[in-house]
Structure 1
């Protein structure tokens, strides 16, 4: 078996089971990295009560998420997809990548979704002013720039832009300490904040 770079195996079995179940046309898939994956651990009720489908994979970049987008989103035929991605590209988890390339990957995900009549909610990247696993990176400006591009693109495409950044940033342009324990990932308080922001946009 070739190296599973995008970790397609992670949800393969879950997807198989899901495809055997009746699709009532209300499926909502959340796709992204650890910030999406860990959300279910902190607030499992948010997912189970709403039959939301979590397809986050820790440490993934937009290139990896795009690689598995067909299997983990399109094939499941959801009504909507929530895309939250880009922070690990800025952290250079798979090496240097330009903001434009990150944006192109996100655009490809959106285009695939719209082509398949899937509603898209495009999320801002969360604030961070450093990465504990890659301290040499200075992410503040890149995060602001990427979010501006995501917001502008959402306006052009007339899709919802879920702005977590504005309500979760602190005076140092990092993730507000009450919402995080490590400066990057939300804690329970952070996820409850994200839930309230998300539900506002879902309406």
Structure 2
């Protein structure tokens, strides 16, 4: 959910060599320090959050990177080639998914594969869906997405665009024999990288639509928004250091939800899953 260029270095938890034309990720110690602080329970991250001037500079620097690789296909290109066995599930998403690797690396391996990228919108994930999900031939995919569209990370979008992109990913999954889990996002009330935004109503609308769409289509729902909510239904401050991203306590709550929804998946892996 964070600006993609801001935490690109921190998201390099998949320490593998670049594949083909993909250059190695440039190190960014400040971004890595912020990401590490975000997942540490109780950490005060205010001094690590970039100023408006720093954010503007990072956005400008990110323009060139997006021109080279807008959907960030290079992020997992080498890691995808190293997947030797079909995983049980691939987690596709934004920073909520990406930072899970940082918070609990032991969760991921042959069984559960993380393909989150901080800052991404549904349009970028749709482009990544085939190489980062389908070609790994998992039993299932989990999609948690849409908040960065609301934040305008890749420009303004209509709500229908978010819906259509998620529908398209579900259609791709089903066409390739994958079970689908849809996840809700935290009940965010502010984006510190977009301080003028007031996203609470739009995030609530997104989560309500995802919940209804999952029910309508017979998909499994992972209600992470509820798992991370406090008594006021906003993000519980004990589970997040910035009101957006979970810390390790928050990810512990999320793991319990994930394990429950995986247990709900059909036992059969199906037969329609062939990716050239």
- What range is the shorter-chain TM-score in? over 0.9
In the alignment, what sits opposite 2:77? 12
TM-score between both structures, scaled by the size of structure 1: 0.92
Residue 167 (structure 1) shift: 2.9
In the alignment, what sits opposite 2:191? 131
Partners of 1:197 and 1:32 lie apart in 2 by 16
- Residue 169 in structure 1 maps to residue 229 in structure 2: yes
Q: Which moved more, 1:96-105 or 1:127-136?
A: 96-105
Name which one, 1 or 2, has greater alpha-carbon Rg. 2
Structure number with the higher helix fraction is 1
Please list the CA deviations of residues 153-173 of structure 1 after superposition, one character each: whole Å capped at 9, or x if unmatched: 111110101111123223554
Partners of 2:230 and 2:85 lie apart in 1 by 44
- Residue 41 in structure 1 maps to residue 102 in structure 2: yes
TM-score between both structures, scaled by the size of structure 2: 0.69
Which of 156, 162, 185 is the matching residue for 1:102?
162
Tell me, yes or no, if the aligned pair for 1:36 and 1:57 is still in contact at 8 Å.
yes
Partners of 1:47 and 1:35 lie apart in 2 by 15
Structure 2 unpaired stretches of 5+: 1-20, 22-66, 264-276
Q: CA RMSD in A?
A: 1.5
Question: RCO greater where, 1 or 2, for CA within 8 Å and sep 6 or more?
Answer: 2
In the alignment, what sits opposite 1:89? 149
In the alignment, what sits opposite 2:125? 65
Alignment length, in residue pairs?
A: 198
Structure 1 unpaired stretches of 5+: none
In the alignment, what sits opposite 1:192? 252
Tell me, yes or no, if the aligned pair for 1:30 and 1:36 is still in contact at 8 Å.
yes
